[in-house]
Amino acid sequence: MKRWIFLSAVLLLTLAVGCSQPADDEATAKKKKTTFVTIGTGGITGVYYPTGGAIAKIVNNKREEYGIRATVESTAGSVFNVNAIMAGDLEFGIVQSDRQYQAINGKKEWEGSPQKNLRAVFSIHPESVTLLAATDADIKTISDLRGKHVNIGNPGSGQRGNAIDALEAAGINWEIDIDPEQVKAAEAPGLLQDDRIDAFFYTVGHPSGAFKEATSGRRKTRFVAITETDSLVQKFPYYAKSYIPAALYPGAANEEDTPTFGVKATFCTSATVSDEVVYAITKEVFENFEAFKKLHPAYQVLTKKSMLEGLSAPLHPGALKYYKEAGLM
What contacts 169, CB < 8 A, 6 or more positions away?
A: 228, 231, 232
- pLDDT confidence of 317, banded at 50, 70, 90? very high
Q: How far is CA 139 from CA 199, 254, 257, 302, in A?
A: 8, 13, 17, 33
> What pLDDT was estimated at residue 234?
87
Residue spans per domain, the chain: 36-126+264-325, 128-263
> What pLDDT was estimated at residue 194?
97
> What pLDDT was estimated at residue 162?
93
> What pLDDT was estimated at residue 29?
46
> What pLDDT was estimated at residue 299?
87
Neighbours of 314 (CB within 10 A): 14
Nearest-angstrom CA–CA distance, 201 and 182? 10
Task: Report whether pLDDT(84) > 90.
Answer: yes
Give yes or no on whether 36-126+264-325 and 128-263 have one common fold.
yes
Task: Report whether pLDDT(32) > 80.
Answer: no
Q: What is the pLDDT of residues 179-192, one digit of tens each?
A: 999 999 999 999 99
Task: Report whether pLDDT(145) > 80.
Answer: yes
What CATH number does the domain located at 128-263 have?
3.40.190.10
- pLDDT confidence of 157, banded at 50, 70, 90? confident
Say if CB 309 and CB 100 are below 8 A apart.
Answer: no
- Averaged pLDDT for residues 97-117: 95
The residue with greater pLDDT, 173 or 15, is 173
In the DSSP assignment, the letter for residue 280 is H
Question: Considering only CA atoms, which of 100, 122, 173, 98 is closest in space to residue 283?
Answer: 122
Q: What is the pLDDT of residues 195-243, one digit of tens each?
A: 999 999 999 988 898 999 999 999 999 999 999 888 888 888 888 888 8
Query: How many helices (H) and strands (E) are present in the chain, helices listed first?
Result: 12, 10
Domain 36-126+264-325: give its CATH superfamily.
Periplasmic binding protein-like II (3.40.190.10)
